[in-house]
C-alpha cells in the first residue's frame, strides 16, 4: 500500500511560484493498476518523481507499507521500478542484453543473479530473439518493453509507468496493455497517461489531477457508475455523404465519428447531437449509451 499524505511541491520560475502539487492525498492499493490522469502541466510527473524520491516535496509524506520514503531512503529504491517518459532513448547503442546487464550492475546485482533474471525477462516480454539487437534498432513498442524490463530488474513491488503507450501504434498499445494487466496480478502498477482508452481498460483505481490538485479519486467502477446517469451520451447510425460528415465533425458535442462502410457512420455525442439526429432522414439507429472515460474526464476537468 502506498499512502500519499498532504504532498505539496512548488517550483520557482523567474521568481514566480509555479504549483506542481497542491496538498495531494491518495492511497494506492497493492496488486492493482492505478491511473493518474490530468491535462498537460497538471502535476502528474511531479507526483511520480516525488513518489520515487527523485524530488523532495515542500511538505507532506509518502509511505510505502507504512514506512516514509524520506526517512527510509532505501525503500523507494528497493520497492519501486520506474519508467519515465524521457528514459527511452539513453541506451540506443547497446544490445538489449548489454543494456539489461549494464543497469543490473548499476543496481549492484551479481553476474550470476542477472543471467537468470535476464533470461526470464526476455522470455516473459517476448524479446528472446532480440537479445543481441541494438536497442536503437528496435521498434518503439519493443524499446518501451526494454524500458519496462529495466525497471523490473530488481523485481520491485511497485512499477511506475509514465505515459507507457505514448507514440505506439495500435498493435503495440495492445501488447503494452496486456503486459500491464499481467504485471498487476503480482505488482502495483501506477501509470500516468493521456491515453484514456488504455486507462479505461486497465485501471482499477483512478485519480484525476488538475492544477496540482486531486479533483477526483475513486475506483473505475464507481466513477463509471456515478456518471452513467449524469452524462448523457447518444450513439446514432446514419447514412451520410462526405460533406455531411465534415459538418458533423465540427458539430459541438460530437465525441466520435466512425466510418462503418457503405456511407454508414457511427456518431457518438452528448445531448446536443440529438438535435442533429432528429433533423436527419437517413437515420438508421439512435440509442443512449454509457459515457466512456474520455467523456467523464472532459466533464470533470471542464
Distances (CA, A) of 221 to 80, 204, 217, 292, 296: 26, 8, 12, 11, 12
- Contact window for ligand ATP (CB under 6 A) among 23-31, 44-52, 120-128, 214-222: 44-52
| Distance separating alpha carbons of residues 129 and 302, to the nearest angstrom | 47
Residue from 2, 45, 202, 273 binding ligand ATP (CB under 6 A): 45
Asked if 193 touches ligand ATP (CB under 6 A), the answer is: no
Q: Is 46 in the site for ligand ATP (CB under 6 A)?
A: yes
Total number of residues that touch ligand ATP (CB under 6 A): 12
Considering the complex, what minimum distance in angstroms separates the CB of residue 243 from ligand ATP? 36
CB-nearer residue toward ligand ATP: 22 or 201: 22
Q: Which of residues 8-37 bind ligand ATP (CB under 6 A)?
A: 11, 13, 18, 20
Which residue, 162 or 292, is less far from ligand ATP as judged by CB? 162
Query: Which is nearer to ligand ATP, 104 or 164 (by Cβ)?
Result: 164
User: Of the candidates 28, 35, 43, 91, which one interacts with ligand ATP according to CB under 6 A?
Assistant: 43
Q: Which of 27, 41, 53, 61 binds ligand ATP (CB under 6 A)?
A: 41
Is 90 among the residues that bind ligand ATP (CB under 6 A)?
no
Q: How far is residue 110's CA from residue 101's CA, in Å, rounded to a whole number?
A: 9
With binding defined as CB under 6 A, does residue 93 bind ligand ATP?
Answer: no
Q: How far apart are CA 279 and CA 273, in angstroms?
A: 10
Q: Is 57 in the site for ligand ATP (CB under 6 A)?
A: no
Crossing angle (nearest 10°) for helices 140-152 and 111-124? 140
Residues found near ligand ATP in the complex (CB under 6 A)? 11, 13, 18, 20, 38, 40-46
Amino acid at each position: 500500500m502506498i499512502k500519499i499524505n498532504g504532498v505539496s511541491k512548488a517550483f520557482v520560475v523567474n521568481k514566480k511560484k509555479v504549483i506542481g502539487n497542491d496538498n495531494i492525498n491518495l492511497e494506492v492499493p497493492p496488486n492493482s493498476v492505478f491511473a493518474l490522469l490530468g491535462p498537460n502541466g497538471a502535476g502528474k510527473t511531479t507526483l511520480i518523481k516525488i513518489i520515487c524520491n527523485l524530488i523532495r516535496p515542500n511538505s507532506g509524506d509518502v509511505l510505502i507499507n507504512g514506512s516514509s520514503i524520506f526517512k527510509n531512503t532505501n525503500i523507494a529504491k528497493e520497492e519501486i521500478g520506474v519508467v519515465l517518459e524521457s528514459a527511452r532513448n539513453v541506451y540506443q547503442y547497446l544490445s538489449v542484453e548489454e543494456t539489461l546487464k549494464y543497469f543490473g550492475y548499476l543496481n549492484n546485482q551479481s553476474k550470476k543473479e542477472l543471467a537468470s533474471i535476464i533470461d526470464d525477462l526476455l522470455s516473459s516480454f517476448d524479446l528472446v530473439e532480440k537479445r543481441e539487437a541494438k536497442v536503437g534498432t528496435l521498434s518503439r513498442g519493443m524499446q518501451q518493453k526494454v524500458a519496462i524490463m529495466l525497471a523490473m530488474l530488481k523485481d520491485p513491488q511497485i512499477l511506475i509507468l509514465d505515459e507507457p503507450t505514448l507514440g505506439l501504434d495500435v498493435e503495440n498499445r495492445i501488447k503494452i496493455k496486456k503486459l500491464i494487466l499481467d504485471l498487476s496480478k503480482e505488482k502495483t502498477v501506477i501509470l500516468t497517461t493521456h491515453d484514456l482508452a488504455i486507462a479505461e481498460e486497465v485501471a482499477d483505481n483512478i485519480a484525476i489531477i488538475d492544477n496540482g490538485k486531486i479533483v477526483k479519486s475513486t475506483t473505475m467502477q464507481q466513477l463509471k457508475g456515478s456518471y452513467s446517469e449524469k452524462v448523457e451520451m447518444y450513439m446514432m447510425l446514419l447514412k451520410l455523404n462526405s460533406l455531411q460528415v465534415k459538418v458533423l465533425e465540427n458539430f459541438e458535442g460530437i465525441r466520435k465519428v466512425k466510418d462503418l462502410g457503405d456511407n454508414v457512420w457511427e456518431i457518438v455525442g452528448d445531448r446536443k447531437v440529438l438535435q442533429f439526429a432528429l433533423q436527419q432522414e437517413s437515420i438508421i439507429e439512435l440509442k443512449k449509451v454509457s459515457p466512456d472515460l474520455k467523456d467523464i474526464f472532459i466533464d470533470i476537468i471542464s
